[in-house]
Homo-oligomer: A and B are copies of this chain.
Amino acid sequence: MKKKIRIKDIALRAGVSIGTVDRVLHDRGEVSDDTKSKIQHIIDELDYRPNLLASSLASKKSIVFATLMPKASNQDNYWSKPHSGVEKARNQLIEYGVQIKQYFFEMEDSSSFSTEAAKLLLCEPDAVMLAPCAKREAISFTRKLDELTIPYVYIDSILPDTHPISFVAQSSFDSGFLAAKLIDWGTREEGIILLIHVAKELDNANHLLLREKGFFRYFELKKSDKHRIFKIEVSGNIEQEILSHLKVIGIEPCEVSGIFVTNSKVHSAASFFKSRCYTPKIVGYDLIPENIGLLKEGVIDFLICQKPELQGSHAIHLLFDHLVKKEKIRKENYTSIDLITKENIDFYNSI
Contact = CB atoms under 8 A, between A and B. Distances in A.
A29 interface: no
A53 interface: yes
A347 B343 contact: no
Contact of A335 (B188, B189, B337, B351): B351
Interface in A174-198: 174-175, 177-178, 181, 185-186, 188-189
Contact of A53 (B53, B342, B347, B351): B53
Given A53-B56, A336-B349, A343 B95 contact: no
Contact of A310 (B95, B281, B348, B351): B351
A51 interface: yes
Given A53-B57, A350-B333, A185 B188 contact: no
A189 B186 contact: no
Contact of A343 (B51, B177, B301): B177
A54 interface: yes
Nearest to A95: B53
A350 B338 contact: no
Interface of A: 51-54, 56-57, 95-96, 168, 170-171, 174-175, 177-178, 181, 185-186, 188-189, 218, 281, 301, 310, 314, 333-339, 341-344, 346-351
30 contacts: A51-B57, A52-B95, A53-B56, A53-B57, A54-B57, A171-B347, A174-B343, A174-B347, A175-B344, A177-B343, A178-B344, A181-B342, A181-B343, A185-B281, A218-B343, A310-B351, A334-B347, A334-B350, A335-B347, A335-B350, A335-B351, A336-B338, A336-B344, A336-B348, A336-B351, A337-B343, A338-B338, A339-B339, A339-B341, A339-B344
